[in-house]
Amino acid sequence: MPAQGKKITAVSLRERKGQGDKIVAVTAYDVAFARLADRAGVDIVLVGDSLGMVVQGQSSTLPVTLDEMVYHSRAAARGVSAAHLVVDMPFMSYQASVEDGMHAAGRLMKEGGAEAVKLEGGEEVAELVRRLVCAGIPVMGHVGMTPQSVHKFGGFKLQGRTEAQARTIAAGAHALADAGVYAMVLESIPAALAEEITAAVPVPTIGIGAGPCCDGQVLVMHDLLGLDPDWSPRFARRYAELGRAAEKAFAGYAADVRAGRFPSKKESFS
């Protein structure tokens, strides 16, 4: 069910497992788009570390800092009212030690206004997940093609095609569920593996490039809105062509200024 004014929480999302009520998530990185997504009734606004690529123009999410995540989270939080605000823990803010992860998550909640944090990995992050949940911080997991491990994977490649990979991903999903995540993202894995994990874990799965059988779906807003006219991954669907519309608007404005058509008398003060 869309947000429609009722606050969506980690608890209410967790309770939707098995109800057949698909969870809708989208990324946003600032107040304007977070507010639009919230008003459209999406359940989850994710301040993803994908901002390193789609906002900062970097080739991976690795350079994103905790300060940058706090900054974008704080901005997006001002646009969200009913939707649940989840914020990514950036690369190396939690991998070196549980203490690092506790402090990083604390900053995202205290300074960024996050209502939950998301981190990547399976069994290797289970202890941190346990500690965060004990401290009152809801955690969303993320397994499959986890972008912070892009160099380990040799690129942004589908994971879980071999039986060994599939078993590692499934074991990671179980470890996360046992550790107390309230939901988990399954990214770029075969649809059949996502279906198997979704049937086996007691918390909602939210897919991206993981087929239709997950309990919900998430998309990067730039892909959904067509903000980059030259980029369209196979797993995404464009619901608008805002990139082309923006280019046209900029060109129209430039033409009007150059021709002396803007500003008009009505757009000027006497």
Instruction: Give me the residues that bind ligand KIV (CB under 6 A), please.
Output: 27, 46, 48-50, 88, 185, 187, 208, 218, 220
Provide the residue count of the chain.
270
**Quick one: CA dihedral 68, 69, 70, 74, positive or negative?**
positive
- Contact assessment for residue 218 and residue 206, using Cβ atoms and an 8 Å cutoff: yes
- Min separation Cβ 220 and ligand KIV, Å: 5
- Is 187 assigned a catalytic role? yes
Cβ distance to ligand KIV smaller for residue 18 or 233: 233
The minimum distance between CB 212 and ligand KIV, in angstroms, equals: 17
CB–CB of 201/177 below 8 Å? yes
Beta carbons within 10 angstroms of residue 127's beta carbon: 13
User: Which is closer to ligand KIV, CB of 116 or CB of 218?
Assistant: 218
Question: Rounded to an integer, what distance in angstroms lies between the CA atom of residue 171 and that of residue 5?
Answer: 37
Task: Reduce the DSSP state of residue 150 to 3 states and report it.
Answer: helix
Question: In the complex, what is the shortest distance from the CB of residue 28 to ligand KIV, in angstroms, rounded to a whole number?
Answer: 10
Residue of 99, 123, 163, 187 with catalytic role: 187
| Alpha helices (runs of H) in the chain, residue ranges in sequence order | 10-14, 31-39, 51-54, 66-77, 98-110, 126-134, 150-153, 163-179, 191-200, 221-225, 242-259
The least distance separating ligand KIV from the CB of residue 50, rounded to whole angstroms, comes to 3
Residue closer to ligand KIV by CB (options 50, 73) is 50
Q: Tokens at residue 128, please?
A: 């941190």
Q: Which is nearer to ligand KIV, 29 or 259 (CB)?
A: 29
Residue number, 50 or 198, with CB nearest to ligand KIV? 50
Peptide bond into 90 cis (omega under 30): no
**Closest distance of CB 139 from ligand KIV, Å:** 14
- Asked if residue 204 has a cis previous peptide bond (ω within 30° of 0), the answer is no
Nearest residue (beta carbon) to ligand KIV: 48
Residues assigned a catalytic role: 187
